[in-house]
């Protein structure tokens, strides 16, 4: 993303992380094209809620990442592609794994094939910490073995390997960013932090959750976005896989209590069996080693550690507590 960059395409721009990334790119003066999922309502997802002065600067392309023709059309005239479009809900991947192969693996292949044909200057492919499975050692470096413990994580492993193969086989300038559990405003209630916040904000005292003992490395969305920008801007990132994480481990149970304390509520946690993953599929422990990002990119989290997590949670709670924002969520229904 040097000054000569003509246009940056963001796939999945209508989603949680993608909308924040699109907005930040515009704020930094980049020429942005947003690839959003076509639907008959002409909805642009979370970009519909972007400030007018920002969205007016964005070229929106409605399409389907699974369609190679549409993907190539969207990529014409672009120099950089930030590829975030994916199906990411783990419980739904048990239900409909075929769609994860089509969207995550074949969709990524469509991006890579078009990038090769169009001579795109750089592709940043989005991975996930779920590809590591339950940590075999901590903190988790990029050399940690990959374990497909859910159809979702298996599809992302496949997508990652396809992306790397185009770098190795064809010299395509690909960088792989591997964010750990991102949270923040706009996140789907299928994720644990919005699940907790929306239930409490809706007046519920008995909070329904799945397993409480697994640990996660939560990364605030502003840090994830800055990680994308750092990867996109660095020539050193090409051919590399780079963790973006806070390097702080916390359990789901501790996180729930931290949120309740910040919201000044007393809660009772009820285990909801339908929210529990199959035994061998549960990722028990995630904790990022972000040394490579620091050394290679000069990136580090501004919301790291326990106090950083508290600040990020406070900003997230403030957003979800807005009645207009909360009204967009169905807090009383389990979000598959």
Domain edges within the chain: 8-183+219-244
Average pLDDT of span 227-239: 98
The residue whose two tokens read 């994480």 is: 245
Is 332 a residue whose pLDDT tops 90?
A: no
Better pLDDT: 43 or 277 = 43
- What is the model's pLDDT at position 3? 52
Cα–Cα distance list, 38 to 27, 62, 65, 145 (Å): 25, 5, 10, 36
pLDDT in tens, 244-272: 999 999 999 999 999 999 999 999 999 88
**Sign of the CA dihedral 41, 44, 50, 51?**
negative
pTM recorded for the entire structure: 0.96
Which of 29, 48, 36 has the alpha carbon at shortest distance from 10?
A: 36
Residue 4: pLDDT band by 50, 70, 90 thresholds? very low
pLDDT over 60 at 327, yes or no: yes
Whether 2 has a pLDDT exceeding 60, the answer reads no
Helices 151-170 and 107-118, packing angle to 10 deg? 20
The per-residue pLDDT of the chain, averaged, comes to 96
**Annotation: CATH topology of 8-183+219-244:** Rossmann fold (3.40.50)
- 13-64, pLDDT tens digit by residue? 999 999 999 999 999 999 999 999 999 999 999 999 999 999 999 999 999 9
The tens digit of pLDDT for each residue in 279-303 reads 899 999 999 999 999 999 999 999 9
- For residues 167 and 77, give the distance between their C-alpha atoms in angstroms, rounded to a whole number: 21
pLDDT of 5 > 60? The answer is no
Q: How far apart are CA 86 and CA 101, in angstroms?
A: 10
What is the predicted pLDDT for the residue at 253?
95
- Model pLDDT, residue 133: 98
How far apart CA 331 and CA 322 sit, in angstroms, is 14
pLDDT of 222? 98
């Amino acid at each position: 993303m040097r000054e000569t960059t003509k246009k940056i395409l963001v796939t999945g721009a209508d989603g949680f992380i993608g909308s924040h990334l699109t907005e930040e790119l515009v704020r930094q003066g980049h020429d942005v094209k947003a690839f959003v999922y076509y639907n008959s309502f002409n909805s642009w997802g979370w970009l519909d809620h972007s400030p007018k002065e920002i969205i007016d600067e964005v070229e929106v392309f409605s399409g389907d990442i699974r369609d190679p023709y549409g993907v190539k059309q969207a990529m014409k005239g672009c120099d950089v592609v930030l590829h975030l479009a994916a199906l990411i809900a783990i419980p739904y991947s048990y239900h409909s794994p075929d769609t994860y192969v089509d969207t995550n693996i074949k969709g990524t292949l469509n991006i890579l094939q078009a990038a090769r044909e169009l001579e795109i200057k750089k592709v940043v492919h989005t991975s996930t910490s779920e590809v590591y499975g339950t940590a075999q050692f901590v903190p988790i470096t990029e050399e940690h073995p990959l374990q497909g413990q859910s159809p979702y994580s298996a599809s992302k492993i496949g997508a990652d390997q396809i992306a790397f193969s185009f770098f190795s086989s064809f010299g395509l300038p690909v960088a792989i960013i591997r964010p750990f559990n991102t949270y923040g405003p706009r996140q789907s209630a299928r994720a644990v932090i919005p699940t907790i916040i929306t239930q409490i904000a809706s007046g519920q005292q008995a909070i329904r959750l799945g397993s409480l003992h697994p640990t996660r490395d939560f990364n605030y969305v502003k840090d994830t976005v800055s990680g994308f920008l750092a990867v996109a801007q660095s020539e050193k990132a090409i051919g590399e896989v780079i963790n973006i994480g806070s390097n702080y481990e916390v359990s789901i149970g501790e996180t729930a209590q931290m949120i309740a304390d910040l919201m000044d509520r007393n809660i009772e946690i009820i285990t909801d069996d339908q929210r529990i993953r199959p035994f061998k599929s549960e990722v028990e422990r995630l904790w990022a080693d972000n040394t490579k990002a620091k050394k290679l990119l000069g990136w580090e989290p501004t919301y790291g550690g326990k106090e950083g997590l508290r600040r990020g949670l406070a900003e997230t709670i403030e957003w979800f507590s807005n009645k207009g924002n909360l009204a967009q969520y169905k807090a009383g229904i389990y979000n598959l």
